[in-house]
Chain A
Amino acid sequence: MAMATSKRIVLDARGSFCPGPLMELIGGIRQAKLGEIVEVWSSDQGSRKDIPFWVQKAGHELVSVVDEDGYTRFVVRKAR
């Protein structure tokens, strides 16, 4: 579920098991322009490991990880 504002794509992937929050994030990063922020919301525990690992491997920047009530917000900047 994407809400595109001027420089930020917010992806609500809460409750997503297949294809899952990481795939939503990768899709968002592909759509984003260099320097833009992609934020993905996940209620899947696996994301805590998956998302930072992928962001590092793909050379992007993990700006913040914010715990909310029942889900986590991962804020990523497209860096390459």
Chain B
Amino acid sequence: MKIVILGGGVGGTIVANLLAKRLRAAEADIILVDRTGRHAYQPGYVYVAFGKTKAKTLTRDVRRLLRKRVKLVLGEATRIDPVGRRVHLADGRVLEYDRLVVALGARLVPEELPGFAEAAHHFYTPEAAAKLREALAAFQGGTIVVTVASVPYKCPPAPAEAACQLDYYYTKRGIRDKVDIRFLSPLSRVFPIETLNPLVERVFADDKIRSTIFFNVESIDTKGQTVTSIEGETVPYDLLVMVPPHRGAKVVEDSGLGDRGGWLPTDKHTLRTKAHADIFGLGDCTDLPVSKAGAAAHFQAKVVADALVSDIRGLPATARYDGRVVCYCDAGRNRGISISFDYEHPPKPPRSLGLRAWLGKHFLNRAYWHLVPTGRV
């Protein structure tokens, strides 16, 4: 059997390593295809923007993270042929598969919002985060607007975290009284998770972050420096921090396998794609109704690996993804929050933000490389 995994991010790497550990060489060839050969720890990008981390510390060679038996192919998948069970690469190579795992992540498409590239800062790539760091350092006062270009986007709490970090950053700089932080939320509340929203609203009140709800960005006026919502409000900014628009993976779209947003329609429990049972969808590139985050892909990867082992051994596939997500948020001022939930159980609200969860986040930032891609936890 040939198992081809597209993407060397959190999900793809864990699946490859778990399969290499559990399957004998005679049972399967495990091939992982990655475009760049570099694996990035994306939760670290926001720390680049605030000058706490250097971007080069946030990536590793995919090869170094994979068990020896996994064959790494550097290349870009440009077409998936589900009938012929083949993946075509940009350089003309063709890979045949018996089972395919699509773990390509979400794609940033700033070009979908006119004015974005010119006017907006963000922290969703290391380059953008470094540019934002310079803009924050040069900023002497005025209104900073923090918002998202559209939904869905990776790591739903990230903009709220960034707003809290901005408060801390300018407080330390001694010019917080000259900086107005405005948070524009696309939803009916400031934080995506209802049970945690009252706590986050208290934090925003304490940190003097002004929030507006139901603000889904329609357009940016780069000359007038305003942003307008589809609900009809216009807000002025001096510095705009906006999560860029996202779509699913290009190869999924180009192969006619995506929905209108390019997301791969995937069964929320079995993680098999709805159209093809021999193709699995994993992580941010899917249409699963959970956070687009490594914190979700991590748990999905184990289910995909279990299902693949069952398929190969001719056993009934019983593995089910229960919607589990576990993550940490950093609210600045050495305060953190840990969040865990699944399809059946909403997150429990903690009494307050704490040092323990903040330490947990910083522990994970360092221990990630040893614990997560290897499949150890």
Which A residues form the contact surface with B (CB < 8 A)? 1-4, 9, 11-24, 26-27, 30-32, 44, 46, 49-50, 53-54, 57-59, 80
A3–B99 alpha-carbon span in the complex (Å): 23
Contacts of B186 in A (CB 8 A): 23, 26
The closest CB in chain B to the CB of A26 belongs to B151
Tell me which of A16, A21, A26, A44 contacts B216 (CB under 8 A): A26
- On whether the beta carbons of A54 and B214 are closer than 8 Å, the reply is yes
Contacts of A57 in B (CB 8 A): 214, 231
Nearest chain B CB to A70's CB is how many angstroms away?
Answer: 11
Which B residues form the contact surface with A (CB < 8 A)? 150-152, 156-157, 186-188, 192-195, 214, 216, 230-232, 259-261, 263, 265-268, 274, 287-291, 323, 325, 339, 341-344, 346-347
> In the complex where A17-B347, A23-B152 touch, is A4 in contact with B260 (Cβ < 8 A)?
yes
Contacts of B288 in A (CB 8 A): 1
- On whether the beta carbons of A30 and B188 are closer than 8 Å, the reply is no
Nearest chain B CB to A25's CB is how many angstroms away?
Answer: 9
> In the complex where A2-B260, A12-B289, A57-B214 touch, is A23 in contact with B194 (Cβ < 8 A)?
no
- On whether the beta carbons of A20 and B214 are closer than 8 Å, the reply is no
- On whether the beta carbons of B187 and A23 are closer than 8 Å, the reply is yes
- On whether the beta carbons of B156 and A44 are closer than 8 Å, the reply is no
The closest CB in chain A to the CB of B197 belongs to A46
A15–B288 alpha-carbon span in the complex (Å): 11
Nearest chain B CB to A3's CB is how many angstroms away?
Answer: 7
List, sorted by A's number, 15 A–B pairs whose CB atoms are closer than 8 Å: A1-B266, A15-B343, A15-B344, A16-B343, A18-B325, A19-B152, A20-B192, A23-B186, A23-B192, A30-B151, A53-B214, A54-B188, A58-B214, A58-B230, A80-B230
- On whether the beta carbons of A27 and B187 are closer than 8 Å, the reply is no
- On whether the beta carbons of B151 and A15 are closer than 8 Å, the reply is no
A22–B325 alpha-carbon span in the complex (Å): 19
- On whether the beta carbons of A2 and B287 are closer than 8 Å, the reply is yes
Tell me which of B150, B188, B232, B341 contacts A27 (CB under 8 A): B150
